[in-house]
Amino acid sequence: MAVMGPRTSRPAGLLACALLLSALACGGPAGPAADRAAAVTGAAPVAAPATPSPAAPVPTPSPAEDPATASPDCIHDNDHDVASVSLAVYFLECPGERIPGASVGHELPVGCRLHLNATPRDGMGAPTCSRSWPVWQWGPPELVSGGGGETFTPAYAIQGTGRFWVRCIVDGVRSDYLLFDLVDRR
């Protein structure tokens, strides 16, 4: 059988808990409400924990002040999450000639510049805006110069012969690898 407090239809234990929780939730000292709850339940009053003083705010640079945190400008009307990244040859630039990406094979001559294009895409395959710049990965580094940086269209100057690979990561999503055989000019 529940013990009833004076002038109330609720059990005294529930009233004591409500008073104690109310006092603690306010963040101040336990005060008279906790003393009344302690008298009803027979428990000792509980002091509220000390509230720490707020820490001084840490200044964060705006994107204009910190280019490493700046998001790329968006050229699409789509802002869905990035689900895939397509990576393709934009064009190959050889002395005096610009060869469209669709015509470029997997053998690239030394002395040319390889221009790539990375496109973030949503789950339906439509181009979408990313929240971060691509992180470019390629190798071996002694075969090319340039490339990388905060761009979706890097250019690599081909300097040596061998097998060259490249990929990028946008918003944590990896593109496929592109592989090329870098060869002497014929």
Q: Which domain holds residue 126?
A: 74-183
Tokens representing 118 are: 């990375």
Q: Domain check: are 172 and 82 in the same one?
A: yes
CATH of the domain at 107: 2.60.40.1080
Q: ∠ CA(120), CA(122), CA(124), 5° rounding? A: 130
Q: ∠ CA(113), CA(119), CA(121), 5° rounding? A: 165
Mean pLDDT check: name the lowest of 73-77, 163-167, 177-181. Answer: 73-77
Q: What pLDDT is attached to residue 83?
A: 96
pLDDT for residue 178 is more than 60: yes
Q: Domain check: are 19 and 103 in the same one?
A: no
Q: Between these two residues, 93 and 7, which has the higher pLDDT value?
A: 93
Q: Domain check: are 103 and 158 in the same one?
A: yes
Residue 47 lies in a domain: no
User: What gap in Å lies between CA 80 and CA 145, rounded to an integer?
Assistant: 34
Residue 90 lies in a domain: yes
Residue 29 lies in a domain: yes
CA–CA distance from 33 to each of 4, 25, 39, 116 (Å)? 18, 12, 10, 71
User: Which residue, among 119, 159, 109, 111, has the nearest Cα to 138 in the 3D structure?
Assistant: 159
Average pLDDT rounded to a whole number, residues 75-93: 90
Q: Domain check: are 156 and 94 in the same one?
A: yes
Question: What is the tally of structural domains in the chain?
Answer: 2
Q: Domain check: are 80 and 166 in the same one?
A: yes
| pLDDT above 90: percentage of residues in the chain | 52
User: Which residue, among 135, 134, 143, 133, has the nearest Cα to 165 in the 3D structure?
Assistant: 143
- pTM of the complete model: 0.61
Q: Domain check: are 83 and 164 in the same one?
A: yes
pLDDT for residue 4 is more than 70: no
Query: Maximum Cα–Cα distance for the chain, whole Å?
Result: 103
What's the pLDDT tens digit per position in 116-131?
Answer: 999 999 999 999 999 9
CA–CA distance from 92 to each of 7, 17, 18, 37 (Å)? 89, 76, 75, 81
What's the pLDDT tens digit per position in 42-67?
Answer: 555 545 444 444 444 444 444 444 44
What's the pLDDT tens digit per position in 145-164?
Answer: 999 889 999 999 999 999 99
Q: Domain check: are 177 and 131 in the same one?
A: yes
pLDDT for residue 182 is more than 60: yes
Residue 79 lies in a domain: yes
Q: Domain check: are 100 and 167 in the same one?
A: yes
